[in-house]
Structure 1
Amino acid sequence: MKRRNFVQLAGMGAGAMLLPVSPFARTVDAQHLLAPGMDVLEKKRLANVALNAAKSSGASYADIRIGRYLNQFVVTREDKVQNIVNTESFGVGIRVIADGTWGFASTSDVTEDGIAKAAKQAAAIAKANAKVQKEPVQMVPVASYGDVSYQTPIVKNAFEVPVKDKVDLLLKANAAAMDKGASYVNSIMFLVNEQKYFASTEGSYIDQDIHRTWPTFNVTVIDKESGQFKQRGAFSAPVGMGYEYLDARPEDQIVAPGDVMLYNKSYDIVEDAAMAAEQVKQILSAKSVEPGKYDLVLEPSHLWLTIHESVGHPLELDRVLGYEANYAGTSFATLDKWESKDFNFGSDQVNLFADKTQVGSLGAVAYDDEGVKTKQWDLVKDGILVNYQAIRDQAHILGEKESHGCCYADSWSSVQFQRMANVSLAPGKEQLTPEQMISGVEKGVYIVKDGSYSIDQQRYNFQFGGELFFEIKDGKIAGMLKDVAYQSNTQEFWNSCVQVCDERDYRLNGSFFDGKGQPGQSSAVSHGSSTARFNGVNVINTARSIG
């Protein structure tokens, strides 16, 4: 995170520091977040100014993104409000191809003169870059969509909900945790609205209004006798939804093995905070795990992160090609493995797919940031590696005739590039519940929610922790465990997958701040799965490892 971003968000709490805010964002009042943005006809008029200026400057292709990015962060701790921050960032990014080479420029001067100047600058940069370009940019075709629009299908715009109501809800959740014995609790509500207009010389004029919501907290309990402490985070998922996600509905509650309450499609933050305090006390007195080989039963709220790190990132084509190396490494899943057509990424139970259209997901849009209509496609089919994630200037490398539609920029001031789509594990084909899965395990660990992790620079060797761990003994939950982490490598791990529950158990989770690129950018992405079983995985005791 840039220092100026850090200073801008100072006082918001550790969790809020992780959420990127454009260095060009300005602080506004809450009512300003509801002010209408620029009229779509005016956006089209200014877009044409940019496209014409780029072409007259020698560009063979040009696109423009007019972006208005709105954020609201509400941060509390125990019975106090720590901060409420509202930000707006508004500007234009222009990308061109001139002399077979990319050029990019951006400006916050959203006027005819400002936009024309930026378009000419982008063309000049492209021509300068062309002097060292070895091969011209090759872009697969894209349809011309004309004037189209898309909005996240929200029921309740979170920015229309009074700030007082949000504060009251977070403080109510904090109080519920404190009443159950929490020593400390902090809670945060992240709200995002991206208003993006895209136009290109290929004839598309695309207006999109994207909403995301994430309520979260962290509960800490201290054992005063021993001085030990444990924490548990929220069981919420960041979602591509409106404030309706916080309208808790009993039918969306899931009682998981171990009497753990989980949530789907709506979320009860007050109930979850109270439950967290109770569970942290149980963690303090839980049995420390004995290291060894275990069958793991991994709940979707945990498995999403393993999918993200060991599947999503290594199957980004720019990592595979070595174009992306400095930020989180390259990939073990090199082109020769794909070209062989028989590389066992996982067992025949493993079907992994990418999808930018999943309703409620963080990455759901109708068109990506280079005007490509989004879709679903297979990455791993019956355990075999079959594809990657690629955008318009990469798809030809795979012999594809169209982009996968996974290009994204986190701001109008950032150049768009290949980003991870929603990458998910498909549900099993046979009817199977988590309880039935556990009944077949003699010695295992059931893991709920993600925790700390480590993975190497080729996204291969890894270690993952979690939030809650339960011992499975002779087909039954035998009590809570602590100090659990598992170690494996990507191919070995996914080949140990022997069962996946059916679609009734399928749920999404994800990350608000997936980092990539240099200068760094952040995107929001979801990953879905049903509960899955992995046999014979090495489990370590993290307390003994540290000790």
Structure 2
Amino acid sequence: MVANSAFGKSIYQEQLLTTIDVRAKKELADVALNTAKAKGASYADIRIGRYLNQAIVTRETRVLNVANSESFGVGIRVLADGCWGFAAGNTVTKEGVAKIAERAVAVAKANAKLGSKPVQLAPQKGYGEVSWKTPIERNAFEVPIKEKIDLLLTANAEAMKGGASFVNSTIFSINEQKYFASTDGSYIDQDIHRLYPNFQVTKIDQTMGAFETRAALSSPVGMGYEYLTPTESEKIGGVVTRYKNRYDMIEDIKNATKNAAEKVAAKSVEPGKYDLVLDPSHLWLTIHESVAHPTELDRVLGYEANYAGTSFLSLEKLKSGNFHFGSKNMNIVADKLQPGSLGLVGYDDEGVKTGKWDIVKDGVLVNFQAIRDQAHMLGLDHSQGCCYAQSWDDVQFQRMPNVSLQPGKDKLSVDDMIKNVEKGIYIVGNGSFSIDQQRYNFQFGGQLYYEIKNGKIVGMLNDVSYQATNQEFWNSLVAVCDERDYRLGGAFNDGKGQPSQSNAVSHGSSTARFNGVNVINTKRKIG
């Protein structure tokens, strides 16, 4: 038996590969839906969720933890007397789900007495009995734990051999087995897989009394263990090694160890205006904070405020049809269909088939993100399919889909982009960030900073962070590399809501250039 986990109860390794018969889930769903209707619900849906997690954590030559966990239960949401009601429980029997459904209806009727406006639910056709599974080549839970530990400890050994002072490495594997059914007539069975390999290398220079770190340039992905199959990498400017669809942890940790030592000796940046060349491994977080969050409709309307603020955008700015979010090179698309992405699913947690839509087109704001009870606020007759709950015992609500900057249309490589920069900085990897409560003023740092002079990378910099207002920054976007450079970054743990929930989401881009951005020096002065 493995150690306890915060994700749920601990289970044996072999239990990660078991499933629940779909016919049994349908029988439970019918009991819940029929009970809800009999108690007065005009609409009802049920989510039967089994959430499996595995975390393997190492440091230097030691395995710190191997944790397998399972969370299993039922969440039922209903509309009664024009209001939402929700209840959840882990007694997954016919009697248990009937009681949960009764409780959900009672909650809805109690809410209706408060006199709120009736919910307007966008119409949604039922799909009947359907299924969807993340396209994977190798199920991470089928990979022996020893094979994963061997990879991590081999990576650690390479870092220590290369002069690292400390190193830790991890592999997180997730499987969401989700069954959704509704009174609209949908019975949807989904099997969703995600993977996240990561590490951090630390180098201490005793003579200088300084240390630096470098994290992995991997990305969390909606893929199987095949993501960790080594593939051909590429060098940019002769110095930066990058990975596209697959990831080589051993090569990356060797480079990371060298980078950490280089960062200790790197010169501190001179503050001023620079042209920034931002790698997708860095730019994804800027997109996430400055574009994806402020285009969530609940933030725009002020419904979501306490957790990381509202938005500088508004319905009026959208309806004007001429609000210039950024330059004509800024094309932002929401997409729940991107292969390999964290947001890739066939149907959202309201049973809506997923798709893609424009948010910013040629620099102009054209849409937000909305679900079934928000669609009418945008004049839509359908949901955009971006509803999600982190677990069976959480109510589903609007969460961002994959929100990505589209590649440039003209052929342009990263090396070609750098050749045209006279005074600039090439930033790789995400670091610290700060953004105000309306997501307008922000500051971002990264992992690696390379000085560009007269079209060439001339060395590494340190203590770099850039500051801008949202529109100022995106209107400085002058070029985006073509689709050959397009890559995904993302997060396993995007927080939102109260009580808070965590969502996994990816953001893609090709390398992009922003001209005349204000760069500050973040070196802390002592004394």
* Contact 1:101–1:133, Cα closer than 8 Å, also in 2: no
1:527 and 2:510 correspond = no
Give the structure 2 partner of residue 461 of structure 1.
441
Give the structure 2 partner of residue 208 of structure 1.
190
Give the structure 1 partner of residue 308 of structure 2.
328
1:323 & 1:203 partners in 2: Cα distance? 30
* Displacement of 1:546: 8.0
Q: 2:151 aligns with which of 169, 175, 178?
A: 169
2:17 & 2:187 partners in 1: Cα distance? 24
Amino acid at match of 2:100: A
* Displacement of 1:545: 7.0
Amino acid at match of 2:477: C
Give the structure 1 partner of residue 118 of structure 2.
136
1:226 & 1:504 partners in 2: Cα distance? 41
* Displacement of 1:270: 1.1
Give the structure 1 partner of residue 9 of structure 2.
26
* Contact 1:258–1:470, Cα closer than 8 Å, also in 2: no
Compared CA separation, residues 261 and 425, structure 1 to 2 (3 A):
same
2:363 & 2:114 partners in 1: Cα distance? 41
* Contact 2:349–2:388, Cα closer than 8 Å, also in 1: yes
* Displacement of 1:544: 5.0
Give the structure 1 partner of residue 343 of structure 2.
363
1:133 & 1:535 partners in 2: Cα distance? 52
Partner of 1:465: helix, strand, or coil?
A: strand
* Displacement of 1:8: 5.3
1:217 and 2:199 correspond = yes
2:526 & 2:40 partners in 1: Cα distance? 60
Give the structure 2 partner of residue 104 of structure 1.
86
Which consecutive aligned stretches of 4+ in structure 1 deviate over 2 angstroms post-superposition? 544-547
2:251 & 2:437 partners in 1: Cα distance? 39
Provide Cα deviations, 1:78-102, integer angstroms capped at 9, x if missing partner: 0000000000010000000000000
Give the structure 2 partner of residue 190 of structure 1.
172
Pairs within 5 Å for 1:359-438: 359-438=339-418
1:276 and 2:256 correspond = yes
1:518 and 2:498 correspond = yes
2:441 & 2:108 partners in 1: Cα distance? 39
Provide Cα deviations, 1:410-458, integer angstroms capped at 9, x if missing partner: 0000000000100000000110011111111111000001000000111
Give the structure 1 partner of residue 283 of structure 2.
303
Amino acid at match of 2:292: G
1:69 and 2:51 correspond = yes
1:491 & 1:102 partners in 2: Cα distance? 37
Compared CA separation, residues 546 and 154, structure 1 to 2 (3 A):
farther
Give the structure 1 partner of residue 425 of structure 2.
445
Give the structure 1 partner of residue 245 of structure 2.
265
Q: 1:119 aligns with which of 101, 122, 139?
A: 101
1:78 and 2:60 correspond = yes
* Contact 1:176–1:271, Cα closer than 8 Å, also in 2: no
1:507 and 2:490 correspond = no
1:241 and 2:229 correspond = no
1:287 & 1:72 partners in 2: Cα distance? 41
Amino acid at match of 2:13: A
* Contact 1:295–1:534, Cα closer than 8 Å, also in 2: yes
* Displacement of 1:325: 0.6
Partner of 1:121: helix, strand, or coil?
A: helix
Amino acid at match of 1:321: L
* Contact 1:368–1:408, Cα closer than 8 Å, also in 2: yes
* Contact 2:4–2:67, Cα closer than 8 Å, also in 1: no
Amino acid at match of 1:527: H
* Contact 1:421–1:525, Cα closer than 8 Å, also in 2: yes
1:163 & 1:522 partners in 2: Cα distance? 26
TM-score of the two chains, using structure 1 as the length reference: 0.95
* Contact 1:463–1:487, Cα closer than 8 Å, also in 2: yes
Q: Which runs of no fewer than 5 residues in structure 2 stay unpaired? A: none
Partner of 1:414: helix, strand, or coil?
A: coil
Provide Cα deviations, 1:195-220, integer angstroms capped at 9, x if missing partner: 00000000000000000000000000
Compared CA separation, residues 126 and 546, structure 1 to 2 (3 A):
farther
* Contact 2:275–2:424, Cα closer than 8 Å, also in 1: yes
* Displacement of 1:319: 0.5
Task: Report % sequence identity.
Answer: 66
* Displacement of 1:256: 2.0
Give the structure 2 partner of residue 3 of structure 1.
none
1:538 & 1:436 partners in 2: Cα distance? 23
1:161 & 1:176 partners in 2: Cα distance? 22
* Displacement of 1:358: 0.4
* Contact 2:237–2:456, Cα closer than 8 Å, also in 1: no
2:336 & 2:236 partners in 1: Cα distance? 28
* Displacement of 1:271: 1.1
Provide Cα deviations, 1:375-418, integer angstroms capped at 9, x if missing partner: 01000000000000000000100001111100000000000000
What is the RMSD computed on CA atoms of the aligned residues? Answer: 1.1
Give the structure 2 partner of residue 160 of structure 1.
142
* Displacement of 1:254: 2.3
1:143 & 1:439 partners in 2: Cα distance? 53
Partner of 2:295: helix, strand, or coil?
A: coil
Give the structure 2 partner of residue 87 of structure 1.
69
1:405 & 1:254 partners in 2: Cα distance? 36
Compared CA separation, residues 133 and 187, structure 1 to 2 (3 A):
farther
Give the structure 2 partner of residue 478 of structure 1.
458
* Contact 1:67–1:195, Cα closer than 8 Å, also in 2: yes
Amino acid at match of 1:191: S
2:93 & 2:154 partners in 1: Cα distance? 46
Compared CA separation, residues 161 and 531, structure 1 to 2 (3 A):
same
Provide Cα deviations, 1:508-540, integer angstroms capped at 9, x if missing partner: 010000000111100100000000000010000
2:199 & 2:104 partners in 1: Cα distance? 43
* Displacement of 1:255: 1.6
Amino acid at match of 1:202: D
Compared CA separation, residues 133 and 420, structure 1 to 2 (3 A):
farther
* Contact 2:389–2:396, Cα closer than 8 Å, also in 1: yes
1:340 and 2:314 correspond = no
Give the structure 2 partner of residue 16 of structure 1.
none
Partner of 1:313: helix, strand, or coil?
A: helix
